[in-house]
Structure 1
Amino acid sequence: MNAADVIANEKLSDLKSVTAVGIDIGSRQAKAVLVNDRAVHTAITASGIDSQETADRLLARLLRLSGVDRSDLAFIVGTGYGRIALDYDDIRTEVVTEISCHAMGAHFLNAGTRTIIDIGGQDSKAIRVDPDNGRVREFVMNDKCAAGTGRFLEKIAELLDYRLDELGDRALEAEAAADISSQCVVFAESEVISLKVRGVQREAIAAGIHYASARRVRNLVRRVGLDPEIVFSGGVSNNKGMKRALEDVIGAPISATKLDTTYAGALGAAVIAQRFYEGSAL
């Protein structure tokens, strides 16, 4: 796709002519973005056991979609849980933390980004971003508890007999959210089972889970300080029920972007890869 169709207008001139790739190997999904000053191409797949094999599969897909020759790739940056396993003998490669990559990616999708809420498969983060350059000012992470993460929502969807991809939409259909008081995975699951036994509508339970998860994320955001504009990234960012719950609980809108923010980390990695190639990096 044309770079102008997805990149913030203010950042188009910051893209370099060299072709670079960012690969974001998450706990459940792996994403990749190929970028130069003219085009942006994306690919996504399930994260496999072998991170290198997953990355190779994504890279092959990007080259096929873009028509770019492998020999024309200037640089690759790997990020995410599987970043340390990436290695290419024929292409210069570096690894960068997913926090820096999500910040840069969000910055190129919305140049005014100041706060990022990143909810992935196994953790959630709140990140404050410098809107002048896309660098991280401060962040906090919750990787000790799975509440509100993709894996937690997947479990809740199973308990409610929903597919994961419809859980958020069903939550939006609720007339009122069920009261889910616990923000602990184990106790929240027990509450869901109890509510089902009592005959509470599934939609109401789904809504209650999203609001309970949003309250947990709000605690992270408060620690870094809420500073609109907000970008919601990570694998859960496509969940409309979670987006609504976050906006209601935090009390501020989440900014729209022209590219699916699931790719924010990979896009940021690709932008950083261009800078590594030119010697400027972060």
Structure 2
Amino acid sequence: MDAGEAAAVIDVGLLMMSISASFAGDVQRWHIAVPRDAAVTLTSAELLLPGGKHSVALDGLLHMVVKIGQLTTMTHVVVLTRSWVQPLFYTYVLRWLRAMVPMTTAVSQLPRALFAVQCAGIKSALVVQCDNGVLFCTPVLDGVISAELESVWGDVGTCATVDVPLMEDCFREVGTRLIEVMRRDSCDVHLMCDSWGTCPTAQQLVSLNCAEDIYLAVKQHVALCQMRELCPCLATVVLCGDATALPATRQCIALLVSAWLPDSVLTWV
């Protein structure tokens, strides 16, 4: 996309849809809650039946996007794709948009990981995407996704309880436990009750197990990337997704980067 053209970027997640529109260099952003009936179509192709309640819900969401984002005035509309979303969803969305915008408007798709590195102004990075608490990591080398080395680091959302209801609270809780895991790992000692001051609660044990799983998943993924000689990817970690703006999310990812990629630069888009 040219910097001076009127362009829009659409990113659809399970909970939120974001629209970024650029008018002569002036960027505006909107966020729209995704109805549950529309959200399930991201992972279930059979629910995209014409006239069904789920496709009707998705149609309503797309109508809202066209209106709010002024897509009929755009010269280029880009839909960001996520690897875990079933392909028919994007086929449906792209066809729908092409039918709604002028023929002169280009409609295309772009992997979300590639968009993230482009926004960061680089060509190679580990792109960590947060989707409703699930951390996906995609190596991008010289502008090309290494699909065979994509990895799921873990699901921070497993910590959500009555006491920890919000995603930011989940990241904060896991970040706290990561510090405990890293301290234990560096000292090569077992985390016993006395290191907590008191015996851990059930909630603390859940978040501790989540932190340990993510910690080990990152270790294994980084080692695999090193073995496959993807070192240029490891120099920069780019964080993107629905929880990127949360300080607790950035701190949590920063802890993981400091543990296994201490010489890497962490940025977010």
Q: Which piece of structure 1 moves more, 24-33 or 203-212?
A: 203-212
Q: Is 1:102 paired with 2:103?
A: no
In the superposition, the TM-score normalised over structure 1's length comes to 0.60
C-alpha distance 248-52 of structure 1, shift in aligned 2 (>3 A): farther
Following the alignment from structure 2 to structure 1, what is the Cα–Cα distance between the partners of residues 180 and 205? 5
Following the alignment from structure 2 to structure 1, what is the Cα–Cα distance between the partners of residues 169 and 67? 30
Task: Give RMSD over aligned pairs.
Answer: 3.6
Rg comparison, structure with higher value: 2
Match of residue 259 from structure 2? 249
| Structure 2 spans left out of the alignment, 5+ residues | 39-56, 183-195
Secondary structure at the aligned position of 2:224 is classed as helix
Following the alignment from structure 2 to structure 1, what is the Cα–Cα distance between the partners of residues 250 and 200? 25
C-alpha distance 211-171 of structure 1, shift in aligned 2 (>3 A): same
Per-residue CA deviations over 1:27-81 (Å, capped at 9, x if unaligned) read 3332221124512222223333143433333343334xxxxxx542112122333
Following the alignment from structure 2 to structure 1, what is the Cα–Cα distance between the partners of residues 215 and 243? 12
Work out the percentage of aligned pairs sharing the same amino acid.
8
Match of residue 136 from structure 2? 124
Following the alignment from structure 1 to structure 2, what is the Cα–Cα distance between the partners of residues 96 and 211? 36
Q: Is 1:38 paired with 2:38?
A: no
The structure in which a higher percent of residues are strand is 2
Match of residue 206 from structure 1? 207
Q: Among residues 155, 159, 163, which one is paired with 2:158 in the alignment?
A: 155
C-alpha distance 104-163 of structure 1, shift in aligned 2 (>3 A): closer
> Is the 8 Å Cα contact of residues 170 and 206 (structure 1) preserved in structure 2?
yes
C-alpha distance 141-113 of structure 1, shift in aligned 2 (>3 A): closer
Corresponding pairs, count: 211
Q: Is 1:111 paired with 2:122?
A: yes
Q: Map residues 1-282 of structure 1 onto 2, 5 A cutoff.
A: 15-48=2-35, 49=38, 50-63=57-70, 70-80=71-81, 81=85, 82-86=89-93, 87-88=96-97, 89-91=99-101, 92=105, 94-98=107-111, 101-111=112-122, 113-121=124-132, 124-130=136-142, 135-139=143-147, 140-142=149-151, 148-149=154-155, 153-158=156-161, 161-173=164-176, 176-177=179-180, 199-200=200-201, 202=203, 206=207, 209-224=210-225, 225-226=230-231, 227-237=234-244, 238=246, 239-252=249-262, 253-257=264-268, 261=269
> Is the 8 Å Cα contact of residues 6 and 75 (structure 2) preserved in structure 1?
yes
Following the alignment from structure 2 to structure 1, what is the Cα–Cα distance between the partners of residues 13 and 64? 15
> Is the 8 Å Cα contact of residues 66 and 72 (structure 2) preserved in structure 1?
no
Per-residue CA deviations over 1:143-174 (Å, capped at 9, x if unaligned) read 7xxx623xxx2231227544222222244456
- What's the CA shift for 1:221? 4.0
Following the alignment from structure 1 to structure 2, what is the Cα–Cα distance between the partners of residues 214 and 234? 20
> Is the 8 Å Cα contact of residues 175 and 252 (structure 2) preserved in structure 1?
no
- What's the CA shift for 1:228? 0.8
Per-residue CA deviations over 1:199-255 (Å, capped at 9, x if unaligned) read 348567536523421431443344343421221222344413531332133223442
